[in-house]
Amino acid sequence: MQKIVIVGGEPLQGTISISGSKNAALPLMAASILTDESIALKNTPNLADIHTMGSVLDSLGVNFDKADLVSKNEIKLTYADSSKALAEYDLVRKMRASILVLGPLLARKREATVSLPGGCAIGARPINIHVDALTQLGGEFNLEKGYIKCEAKSGLRGAKINLPMISVGATENIIMAATLAKGETEINNIATEPEIMDLIDCLKSMGAIIEVQDNRRVLIQGVDKLHGTTHTVIPDRIEAGTYIIAGAITKGELEVTNLNLEHIDNMISVFKNIGVNILKENNTVRVKESSLINNIDLDTKEFPGFPTDMQAQIMVLLSLAGKPSTVRENIFENRFMHVPELNRMGANIDTDGSKATINPCNGFSGAQVMATDLRASVSLVLASLIATGETTINRVYHLDRGYERLEDKLASCGANIQRIQ
């Protein structure tokens, strides 16, 4: 099993270019089921989750052409064999985002059998919201032996859907399904993350008729068919926030490029309040040594609030403040698994239910630590960059799910980091 070894204390100096967003690319890949024509996705990150989704789609008859993924970050998807409608457990269990094939399959094939999803254990993330909404569009569902079996013999039909809670995955699934439903679909209480807007932009370029309105409302006029397109995946805002924190805590001067600043303004505002020295310019952020870190009370929220996917990383930054800070996790109920590992490295973090209190610490020290999920693992990388001595991070396959060429990017800016067997 691979490990990452980091010797801390090196300031990061240089430039890091942000990759395409994994969380945007995955639903875009699922949208390939909605048309017979090819979808080409540019700026696609070469990540484990991309390959997993490619395997799921391949099992459903989608030709996943990844010949240019490494060299150009481009993939092409073509729904070539529509006779398949079974997404098996061995594939779906690896990643929760696999459930995103459910809506497109039901809209296009009028039937689907999809295993209940797996993935990292950061919360239940129930799929009943997906199922209930698709039922309102005309789907009929049964749960048999761990599989969701559904059909819509007469096709899907438009409906007014009020989502009971804001859900990124459910919003994506229902929007994709509604593009081929008969009539108008109105969805209220949608998630409005940039990744969802990117999906909508791609669907519109495929011929979908979608209108995003205020107050988390979207209207979709169903069409008979969609066509192929070429689409560029948006930059990964979570990767951007992670490297901004890396630049701030290592006391160097780091330039983070290939950004969409509108997508990260919410994070930048929080970072500036904490005391991070940030300069914005075009699609670039420059992070300089931040000598004074202030404490803060922070809640994770749906976009445009502070993202839950940055919660673990910001705890490393807040550990350097002079006074205690609090972070309340409002999205997932089991997302503090990184805290014991950070505490082993010298952090002083207490948790009580959904609230974490980050007390000032006397610095981090190298240790053997274990990654538990994607964002938890990168918080250990951040702590390792400023730790005294050597840190070994185990189970780094979590990192490979969401951070493209992490060691290369950090090493190019002076970090002492290497991957070993």
Confidence of residue 90 (pLDDT cuts 50, 70, 90): confident
More confident residue, 118 or 88: 88
Per DSSP, 413 falls in state T
Retrieve residue 78's tokens: 């073509």
Percent of the chain with pLDDT over 70: 97
List pLDDT tens digits, range 183-208.
999 999 999 999 999 999 999 999 99
Which domains does the chain carry? Answer: 3-19+235-420 (3.65.10.10), 22-232 (3.65.10.10)
Give me the pLDDT at residue 124, please.
Answer: 47
pLDDT at 67 over 80: yes
Secondary structure of the chain: what % helix, strand, coil (to 5)? 35, 25, 40
Alpha helices by DSSP H, 233-371 = 237-249, 261-274, 311-318, 339-344
- Segment of 14-28, 102-116, 279-293 carrying the highest mean pLDDT: 14-28
DSSP 162: E
Rounded to 5°, the CA angle 256-261-262 comes to 160
Identity of the amino acid at 286: R
What count of other Cβ atoms lies within 10 Å of the Cβ of residue 141?
17
The C-alpha torsion from 316 through 320 and 325 to 327, rounded to 10°, is -10
Contact 393/382 with Cβ under 8 angstroms?
Answer: no
Residue whose tokens read 């989750």: 49
Q: Is position 120 annotated as part of the catalytic site?
A: yes
Each residue's pLDDT tens digit, 305-322: 999 999 999 999 999 999
Give dist(CA 241, CA 291) in Å, integer.
19
Percent residues over pLDDT 90 in the chain: 81
Question: Which positions ≥6 away from 219 have C-beta within 8 Å?
Answer: 184, 185, 186, 210, 211, 213
Q: Does residue 387 surpass a pLDDT of 50? A: yes
CA neighbor of 313 nearest in space, from 293, 342, 275: 342
Residue 121 confidence (pLDDT): 42
> Which residues, listed in sequence order, are joined to residue 300 by a DSSP beta bridge?
306
Q: Which helix (H) or strand (E) holds 78?
A: strand 75-79
What sign results for the dihedral spanned by CA atoms 86, 92, 96, 98?
negative
At residue 334 the predicted structure's pLDDT band, cuts being 50, 70 and 90, is low
Q: Among 22, 30, 84, which residue's Cα sits nearest to residue 50?
A: 22
Does the pLDDT at position 119 exceed 70? Answer: no
- Catalytic annotation, pick one of 120, 150, 202, 361: 120
Using one digit for the tens of pLDDT, what is the confidence trace for 35-54?
999 999 999 999 999 999 99
pLDDT in tens, 347-359: 999 999 999 999 9
Paired strand residues for 130: none
Contact 149, 113 (CB under 8 A): yes
Q: Quick one: pLDDT at residue 216?
A: 98
pLDDT of 120 strictly over 50: no
- pLDDT value of residue 126: 67
Structure confidence by residue, pLDDT tens digits, 253-305: 999 999 999 999 999 999 999 999 999 998 999 999 877 899 999 999 999 99
Rounded CA separation 174/203 (Å): 13
Task: Report whether pLDDT(215) > 90.
Answer: yes
